[in-house]
Chain A
């Protein structure tokens, strides 16, 4: 069976199980797929779903980019310099273990209920996990290849971009993947606690009306976007990064 059919079959099994349970339970707390679809269409065409998704996606994108850039830079520095690593290792463990909720609350208290506070809170939550992964990558960078760069007198920027950084791509990719799903989730909490738009805010409103179908409709919209990002951005990037990594004949 081809992988596409396998994935489709999995989806069909999942959907029919859901539908079966909904029929059996027959309660508004467990809406059937049709009711969820109806709700989705309503929120999509008449509600603020598009606006909310757009707002949330923008927040995710901004915090993702900032967290990745800072995380990669700090990770490289900590992975290559033993002394700086020793100095900041404890700090890293502390930041890694501060609950996301605490960072969010503190940011709102210190900076006020503003957009910058929301983004900062997400970024602070994400950076340590990026740093941990990139640091591991930077630790195992192949000195032999760096020596080639030295012998042939490559410029510093060329050594970095053509010899050093490509060795980190798999680590950057892994942390980007893990990062996106984590950031989605934290952004929703941030929105729920202190913003008046976005998916998190919408979910909170729906929760107050016990609109289960609406909550599920938003969830589906949300998952679809992640699937699109995975297929349109991450998979092609994977292929690009894996070039030269296999010994299949050209």
Chain B
């Protein structure tokens, strides 16, 4: 488990004058599930990449467990990308062993069983469906017992029942690992379903325009009445929040 305290004054890409992120400030308690919602191109992936050290974060204040670090090298990190990003020349087992060579066969079997892929360890990624590949990517991320787990629209372009199944799986894995989670999505009901707190981002140059604590009991239901009511209340209050604005008028 890990606590986050992040302040990003401004973030530009090298060779580009465009500011992607501006005045981002948020924190997370250990084990908290944070969802980030924002319109496309609002730099959500950039934010995750900065947290993971893939994107340069020098000059920003990135505090992990009260230690100011530019990169999260001291902590075990799990990252589920938008695409599964499995090595096509390695089997499912080898893909998981790649990130954790010391892992035992039994542990891999348990993990695969947890994600509903028992007995599929000797398959190559291309022999699996898109949904199965994503499950392998999730298993890989949790194999390292991550203290912080980053998820970048992991259930994008999946059919609704598969996505619902994977959400349930994610909740269970997070619970057993106790990881702090930063979950990027553009699906509000998905965020309500999973998160303790939701951060809303504006369009580029993005900042956080609203934070909402989802004070609903867990486990939550897909399209449950309490969840729908919570969503309706929020949308009533900020009708344009999903397009990145807290303006009251439509």
Contacts and interface: CB of A to CB of B under 8 A. Distances in A.
Contacts of A163: 87, 98
Interface string B122-145: 111111000000000000000010
Contacts of A151: 52-54, 77, 79
B73 A153 contact: yes
Interface in B45-95: 52-54, 73, 77, 79, 81, 83, 85, 87-91
Interface residues of B, number: 24
A144 B91 CA distance: 18
B98 A250 contact: no
Interface stretch (A1-9, A43-51, A176-184, A238-246): A238-246
A162 B126 contact: no
Most buried by B among A151, A163, A247: A151
Given A144-B83, A145-B87, A162-B87, A244 B73 contact: no
Interface residues of A, number: 23
A143 to B, nearest CB: 10
A157 to B, nearest CB: 12
B99 interface: yes
A90 interface: no
Contacts of B79: 148, 151-152
B87 to A, nearest CB: 6
Given A154-B99, A162-B98, A244 B144 contact: no
A247 B127 contact: yes
A35 B91 CA distance: 54
18 contacts: A144-B81, A144-B83, A147-B81, A150-B54, A151-B79, A152-B100, A152-B144, A153-B73, A154-B98, A154-B99, A162-B87, A163-B98, A169-B89, A243-B89, A244-B90, A244-B125, A244-B126, A247-B126
